[in-house]
Amino acid sequence: MNAIVESLGWTLIHFLWQGLIIGAVYASARQVVSRPNARYLLACAALLAMMTAPLATWIAMRPSAGLPDPAYRVRNTPPAVGASPVTTVLPLAVRATVESPGLMPAVVVIWLAGAVAFWLRLAGGWVMASRLRSRLVRPAPAEWQSRLRELRARIGVSRPVRLLVSGLVQVPTVAGWLRPVVLVPVGALSGLPVEHLEAVLLHELAHIRRHDYLVNVLQSACEALLFYHPAVWWVSGHIRAERELCCDDVAVAASGDAFTYARALVEWESCRPSHVPVAVAANGRSLTARMARILGQPQAASRSGAAVVASAALLFGAAYGVFAQTADRPAFQAASIKPNTAANPWGMMLRPQPGGRLVSENAPLLMLIQNAYAVQAFQVVGGPAWMNTVGYDLDAKPEGATDRKQMWLMLQTLLADRFKLALHREKRELPVYALTVGKGGLKRTPPKESGCVEMPPDGSPPPGSLLCGRAVIRMSPEGLKMEGSKVPMAELTRMLSALMGRPVLDQSGVTELVEVHLSFTPDQSTAGLPGAGGPRAPGGPRPPVDPEKPTIFAAVQEQLGLKLGTAKGPVEVLVIDHVEKPTEN
């Protein structure tokens, strides 16, 4: 065992000079190669040589049963007086003077500790990549799957590739080698220009065509084993940098528009959260450098400090030019916001008008955030208490007729400008409710063929009418009701989630449409209802509690035959980082 430890220790030490020589040769060869693909192959060859060198050294120096005292082993025997220090001929014709071979166990232990730490990190990355393929994902719409097939054919990717929408990624990502998938963030397929998304998808498909996922896994394994040598990280960083440049070239060649591709990269980088590291190469080449290269900007060689500064200024100017042409966020042409003074707890309202005009009465900021970002109240975390206790009257008008999607984006801009709202998204493990069928089974009420109306364009259903496919919560001094006709389970769980201030997961297995006629009294479980179990309604008292009426739990079970149980699950939330009361009009 001592011989094995000594052999391994010497292998690690020899790689210090071996890696240095390989790195020097690679650096010299790199100076005469300009194309990214050639530089990429050169860097891969250098890393392969770095991985092969210690393996060859270990084979040459490994202990043998026929040679109990192999040539690499140096005895700790003091030299005779007047004699030269004890030396031995080491493999690979290297001569060394060794004073204390007892350091080898410490060298091996330190290396093992570092290697294990990096392997654990690598294993964690593999687990995370596996989870990305299966957790919080859904297939992309059929039209985008078809578009992905066209893009595959355009750049010559023959393997099948799936396109999934993921709630765990912030930028398009490739996961897997044998069965690759392309993951795009939630909202990307509908919230970004089509040409920008196609350009970035071409980049990701280029990674698949080049088998970069597999190369990256092998590359990470080399880093874990040879973590202690700076040249390994230097060469590995070049591989990652040149890999991106190679895929940039493929994407630009396939799209035929370098400027659109450059803007697409900038747009994705601006969407990345601030706590996520910026996508730069390990050797220091930033997104700015990629932009300059794609747009054909000249890049000076770093031969002196002045040249480095001049080159950095040029690249920064090119990147600034690209950023400056990014489209402005959509905004209302005119908007009026003022606190509501009517003190009417039943008058909270947020109503989109035809053409994109948005009007609210006594609407708290929490309600505005819910609508702007399409979330429920329980998904908004943090912020001061006045977010749900101060109502605002809003009248916002766009410059011209616009659709609802643009209107909600304009509301996001308005909240950022007038309320100084800053927030970010997170996944948190939160309490949830599970909706199942009760012991007595589902209580079915046949839907009436003519007993409901469609939602009017202005979002104001006629008083007392039932909406087709929608459930509505009506609050009055007499109590609370939830009513709807031909309601799918997804709509029922959505309204229950909003009412109870907690996610409701449908585990009932019911696929048919249901009639909803729930009459209940507010309590602490209806925390999602302003003034009922949660914060007090703006300017008014809580809704009256009628002890003769059932709670929402009892009403769901008695009147629908369903049951609400408690559980826990991952929920995406909006975390309020900063907010202020609005500025004066």
The residue among 267, 293, 324 that closes a domain is: 324
Together in a domain, 402 and 439: no
Confirm whether 459 is domain-assigned: no
Together in a domain, 30 and 90: yes
Together in a domain, 260 and 376: no
Together in a domain, 267 and 210: yes
Confirm whether 585 is domain-assigned: no
Q: Which two tokens stand for residue 552?
A: 């929402």
Identify which of 314, 294, 320, 288 has the alpha carbon closest to the alpha carbon of residue 302: 314
Together in a domain, 243 and 341: no
Work out the number of other CB atoms within 10 angstroms of the CB of residue 278: 9
* CB 392, CB 339: distance < 8 Å: yes
Name the strand (E) or helix (H) holding 560. Answer: none
Torsion-angle region of residue 234: left (phi > 0), alpha (psi -120 to 50) or beta?
Answer: alpha
The residue among 298, 324, 350 that closes a domain is: 324
Greatest alpha-carbon pair distance for the chain in Å reads 114
Confirm whether 583 is domain-assigned: no
Identify which of 534, 514, 535 has the alpha carbon closest to the alpha carbon of residue 526: 534
Confirm whether 455 is domain-assigned: no
Together in a domain, 366 and 248: no
* CB 407, CB 360: distance < 8 Å: no
* CB 228, CB 111: distance < 8 Å: yes
Confirm whether 454 is domain-assigned: no
Domain extent at residue 22: 2-75+86-112
Together in a domain, 26 and 144: no
Together in a domain, 404 and 278: no
Confirm whether 414 is domain-assigned: yes
Question: pTM for the complete prediction?
Answer: 0.43
Together in a domain, 260 and 375: no
* CB 168, CB 217: distance < 8 Å: no
Together in a domain, 435 and 412: no
Together in a domain, 217 and 314: yes
Work out how many domains the chain is built from and give that number: 4
Confirm whether 216 is domain-assigned: yes
Residue type, 532: A
- The β-bridge relationship of strands 380-381 and 391-397 is unpaired
Confirm whether 481 is domain-assigned: yes
- The β-bridge relationship of strands 137-139 and 162-166 is antiparallel
DSSP three-state, residue 580? coil
In sequence order, the 6+-apart residues with CB closer than 8 A to the CB of 519 are 479, 480, 481, 549, 550, 555, 559
Per-residue pLDDT of the chain (585 residues; tens, 9 = 90+): 566 777 788 888 888 888 888 888 998 998 888 888 899 999 999 999 999 988 888 887 765 433 333 333 333 333 333 333 333 333 333 333 333 445 678 878 888 888 888 888 888 877 777 777 777 778 878 888 888 888 888 888 888 888 888 877 777 778 777 788 888 877 666 666 777 778 888 888 888 888 888 888 888 889 888 888 888 888 988 888 888 888 888 888 887 777 777 777 766 665 544 333 333 323 334 566 676 677 666 554 444 334 433 433 443 343 343 334 444 578 898 999 998 877 555 567 888 888 889 988 888 999 899 889 888 878 888 999 899 888 899 999 998 888 888 899 999 999 999 999 998 888 888 888 999 998 888 887 766 666 688 876 655 666 767 888 888 887 766 678 888 888 899 889 888 888 887 888 888 888 888 888 888 888 877 876 654 444 444 444 456 677 788 888 998 998 899 999 988 878 888 999 999 998 766
Identify which of 573, 215, 544, 565 has the alpha carbon closest to the alpha carbon of residue 428: 573
Q: Note the helical H segments in 167-257.
A: 188-191, 194-209, 212-225, 230-255
Together in a domain, 220 and 319: yes
